[in-house]
């Protein structure tokens, strides 16, 4: 890119900096990008068209690559749209982000310039801590491109890195795919990044799957409850076990029931599935002890209930000698038979 034309209609002796630029873009852009923005607007207002990338680089003591990165950045922020040479200003939508195969490469000198920026230096340090390794030059180049090429704020990239590492994805190729997705979906604030990383956290989907809700997206209240479970220090298999037991016990997926169960396990200092089995065994032993103590007669757990007090049970029944009665009846029959003519 040797030159470019800003789609602008103002040709005057001064430039106006909009409140939108100051409120929404000034803090998030690095100093070089702001310099390029102001000088390009100044030259465009003066009537210089097309604008020379080399001229801007010389005036600002930057490389042409620096200027081209700034142009792509302001395009990605939808602050600038570029017009074709010889074409009048148009109201066409801004140019889309560069496709992945046009990702810029950076020289060692260019990366060194980026490293002079405190926020990027801190981003690289934090990323190395998350990934547990020293980043290579290619890793740093990819990480810098998230900010320089895709226009993601540094604080959003930090959340992106944390999200990928928590999902056990520690390679830059995967992070780049996530960064492209976030850029395409205009994830540009911390709140947006946190919400997207929460909703697409695979741990949440694993819990929902254990409940039999694998086709659902977690709601904010459900995310809050699940965060509490993970804050207890439970591994995923323990939480899944609580979900399975909940469905077996009440025949439906209920977060409140599982929450009580996991709170109880937390109080009992459960850390493994074996700990749960020990609690089960202790509970079963308590039940057996109650059964054996509850009968009070020969160890029988079930007492024989006394008959209810009513007019039938209060009646004093007679005691009969049935053998004597049967003998008497037999004698009477024989006597009658012998007495027949």
Task: Give 114-148 pLDDT, tens digit per residue.
Answer: 888 889 999 999 999 999 999 999 999 999 999 98
Q: Which residues contact 229 (CB under 8 A, 6 or more apart)?
A: 207, 239, 242, 259, 262
Split at pLDDT 50, 70, 90, the class of 307 is very low
Split at pLDDT 50, 70, 90, the class of 58 is confident
CA-to-CA dists, residue 246 to 240, 243, 251, 262, angstroms: 10, 5, 7, 11
**CATH 1.10.10.10 corresponds to the domain 3-89:** yes
Split at pLDDT 50, 70, 90, the class of 200 is confident
Rounded Cα distance between 244 and 251, Å, is: 10
Average pLDDT score over the chain: 79
Q: Assess whether pLDDT exceeds 50 at residue 270.
A: yes
User: Quick one: pLDDT at residue 338?
Assistant: 56
User: Quick one: pLDDT at residue 23?
Assistant: 82
What is the tally of helices (H) and strands (E) in the chain? 17, 3
Confirm if 86 and 7 have CB atoms less than 8 A apart. no
User: Quick one: pLDDT at residue 100?
Assistant: 46
Phi and psi angles of residue 52, each rounded to the nearest 5 degrees, phi first:
-90, 125
User: Quick one: pLDDT at residue 95?
Assistant: 35
Q: Which residues of 106-115 are buried (b: 16+ CB within 10 A; e: fewer)?
A: beeebeebbe
**Secondary element (H or E) of residue 139:** helix 137-148
Split at pLDDT 50, 70, 90, the class of 276 is very high
Split at pLDDT 50, 70, 90, the class of 326 is low
Rounded to two decimals, the pTM is 0.41
Split at pLDDT 50, 70, 90, the class of 22 is confident
Split at pLDDT 50, 70, 90, the class of 263 is very high
Q: Assess whether pLDDT exceeds 90 at residue 337.
A: no
Ranges 6-15, 138-147, 264-273: which has the least confidence: 6-15
User: Quick one: pLDDT at residue 9?
Assistant: 46
Split at pLDDT 50, 70, 90, the class of 258 is very high
Rounded Cα distance between 141 and 146, Å, is: 9
**Domain coordinates of the chain in residue numbers?**
3-89, 108-200, 204-290
Q: Which residues of 29-56 are buried (b: 16+ CB within 10 A; e: fewer)?
A: bbebbbbbbebbbebbbeeeebbbbeeb
Split at pLDDT 50, 70, 90, the class of 249 is very high
Mean pLDDT, to the nearest integer, of 258-262?
96
User: Quick one: pLDDT at residue 90?
Assistant: 36
DSSP conformation letters of 114-127: HHTSHHHHHHHHHH
If DSSP codes are grouped into helix, strand and coil, which group holds residue 310? coil
Q: Assess whether pLDDT exceeds 70 at residue 297.
A: no
Mean pLDDT, to the nearest integer, of 96-113?
71
């Amino acid at each position: 890119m040797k030159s470019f034309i800003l789609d602008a209609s103002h040709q005057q002796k001064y430039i106006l900096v909009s409140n939108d630029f100051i409120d929404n873009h000034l803090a998030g852009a690095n100093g070089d990008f702001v310099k390029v923005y102001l000088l390009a607007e100044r030259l465009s207002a003066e009537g210089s068209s097309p604008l020379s990338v080399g001229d801007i680089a010389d005036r600002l003591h930057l490389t042409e690559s620096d200027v081209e990165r700034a142009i792509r950045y302001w395009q990605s922020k939808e602050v600038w749209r570029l017009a074709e040479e010889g074409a009048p200003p148009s109201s066409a939508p801004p140019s889309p982000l560069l496709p992945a195969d046009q990702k810029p490469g950076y020289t060692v000198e260019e990366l060194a310039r980026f490293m002079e920026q405190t926020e990027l230096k801190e981003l690289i340090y934090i990323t190395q801590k998350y990934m547990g390794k020293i980043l290579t030059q290619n890793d740093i180049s990819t990480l810098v491109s998230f900010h320089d090429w895709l226009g993601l704020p540094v604080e959003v990239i930090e959340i992106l890195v944390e999200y990928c590492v928590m999902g056990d994805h520690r390679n830059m190729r995967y992070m780049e795919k996530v960064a492209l997705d976030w850029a395409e979906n205009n994830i540009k604030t911390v709140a947006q990044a946190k919400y997207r990383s929460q909703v697409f956290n695979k741990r949440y989907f694993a819990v929902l799957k254990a409940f039999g809700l694998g086709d659902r997206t977690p709601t904010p209240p459900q995310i809050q409850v699940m965060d509490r479970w993970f804050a207890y220090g439970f591994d995923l298999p323990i939480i899944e076990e609580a979900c399975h037991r909940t469905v077996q016990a009440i025949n439906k997926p209920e977060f409140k029931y599982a929450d009580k169960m996991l709170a109880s396990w937390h109080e009992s200092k459960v850390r493994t599935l074996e700990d749960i089995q020990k609690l089960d065994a202790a509970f079963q032993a308590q039940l057996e002890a109650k059964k054996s103590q509850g009968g009070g007669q020969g160890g029988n757990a079930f007492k024989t209930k006394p008959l209810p007090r009513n007019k039938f049970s209060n009646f004093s029944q007679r005691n009969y000698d049935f053998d004597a009665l049967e003998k008497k009846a037999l004698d009477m029959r024989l006597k009658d038979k012998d007495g027949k003519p």
